[in-house]
Amino acid sequence: MDNQKPSLMLVDGMALLFRAYYATAVTGQFMINSKGIPTNGIYGFVKHLFTAIQSFKPSHLAVCWDMGSKTFRTEMFADYKGNRGEAPTELIPQFDLVKEVVASFDIPNIGLAGFEADDCIGTIANQMKDYVNVYILTGDQDILQLLDERVSVILLKKGFGNYHVHTPKTFFEEKGIMPRQMIDLKALMGDPSDNYPGVKGIGEKTALKLLKEFEHVEGIIANIDRLSKSNKSKIEQDLEMLHLSRKLAEIKCDVPVRCELEQAGLRIERDKALAKLMDIELRGSQSLLPLDEAFVS
């Protein structure tokens, strides 16, 4: 990372919102306001957001969102994320409201129907990494495939202010492969949380061994006769799913979205932001907004 460059934090909005919602929903603390709207997810989201801003001090920030469950991936594979139920009733009204809160901070909300937040994040990271240091804030390990010398990933851990910061070096030390090979890793072993199977019977250990030896899916297929009888048979039986899983695993970095740097500068107007937080009756609105930070006026 170049310390002379500005820094852009790209936030996976859904990751923060869901994490915040479930942390309090488990005990039934929905923080329902006088209009009957729950605000627990929004409250935790704002707290997560400002904790990260204070920890990493980005000069610029944008929040990316999923825009519905139908994407190009569900068109390729109908069961993609098909194991996820409907969003909880108490969370549904918070989806639009949290974006209004972000807008009141003068932070861009970015999302595009047909694509996931990850695709928007990947695209913007790609567009901007020559000009800024990019930090991606998420709870989702899929995004680690985007790591490079100018893109770091901040993984949220349990609680507030607990992070695991990944660079290409830390990723290699942990997995023994390069970040881009994460796509091939997921193609082989599948992803239960996104509901696609990869190759039946191949887990992480075998997948990593194959990738260290043959580099990527194409390399494995080109050398299929060198594999053990068991692995050769598993891959041959699931060849179609292997190719499909690779397409599902790869984050698209050419989505038609943009993030203009001048619109993403952190310049929060305290009165405007506070008015919004008080309008939705967010508990402790005053204490949620940092008092003396350079980005709050």
Same domain, 197 and 132: no
Q: Is the pLDDT score of 63 beyond 90? A: yes
What distance in Å separates the CA atoms of residue 177 and residue 171, rounded to the nearest whole number?
8
pLDDT given at position 184? 98
Same domain, 241 and 215: yes
The tens digit of pLDDT for each residue in 112-165 reads: 999 999 999 999 999 999 999 999 999 999 999 999 999 999 999 998 999 999
Q: What is the CATH number of the domain that holds 189?
A: 1.10.150.20
Residue 26: which pLDDT band, with cuts at 50, 70 and 90?
confident
The tens digit of pLDDT for each residue in 171-227 reads: 999 999 999 999 999 999 999 999 999 999 999 999 999 999 999 999 999 999 999
Whole domain around residue 134: which residue ranges?
A: 7-174+251-288
- What is the residue-wise DSSP string for 4-63? TS-EEEEEEHHHHHHHHHHHHHTTT---B-TTS-B-HHHHHHHHHHHHHHHHH--SEEEE
SS3 190: coil
Same domain, 125 and 244: no
109-110 and 133-138 as β-strands: parallel, antiparallel, unpaired? unpaired
pLDDT given at position 4? 81
Same domain, 29 and 15: yes
Residue 263: which pLDDT band, with cuts at 50, 70 and 90?
very high
In a domain? residue 282: yes
Into how many domains does the chain fold? 2
Q: What is the CATH number of the domain that holds 63?
A: 3.40.50.1010
Work out the mean pLDDT of the chain and round it to a whole number. 95
pLDDT given at position 165? 97
- What is the residue-wise DSSP string for 90-154? TTHHHHHHHHHHHHHTT--EE--TBS-HHHHHHHHHHHHTTTSEEEEEES-GGGGGG-BTTEEEE
Same domain, 119 and 11: yes
Same domain, 129 and 93: yes
Same domain, 41 and 159: yes
Same domain, 131 and 268: yes
In 3D space, the residue among 25, 101, 108, 109 whose CA is nearest the CA of residue 67 turns out to be 109
Same domain, 245 and 260: no
Same domain, 237 and 213: yes
CB neighbour list of residue 275: distance below 8 Å, 6 or more residues apart: 104
In a domain? residue 125: yes
What distance in Å separates the CA atoms of residue 55 and residue 293, rounded to the nearest whole number?
12
Are the C-beta atoms of 280 and 97 separated by less than 8 Å?
Answer: yes
Same domain, 142 and 273: yes
Same domain, 257 and 245: no
Torsion angle of C-alpha atoms 226, 230, 232, 235, degrees rounded to 10: -150
SS3 170: helix
In 3D space, the residue among 118, 294, 275 whose CA is nearest the CA of residue 191 turns out to be 118
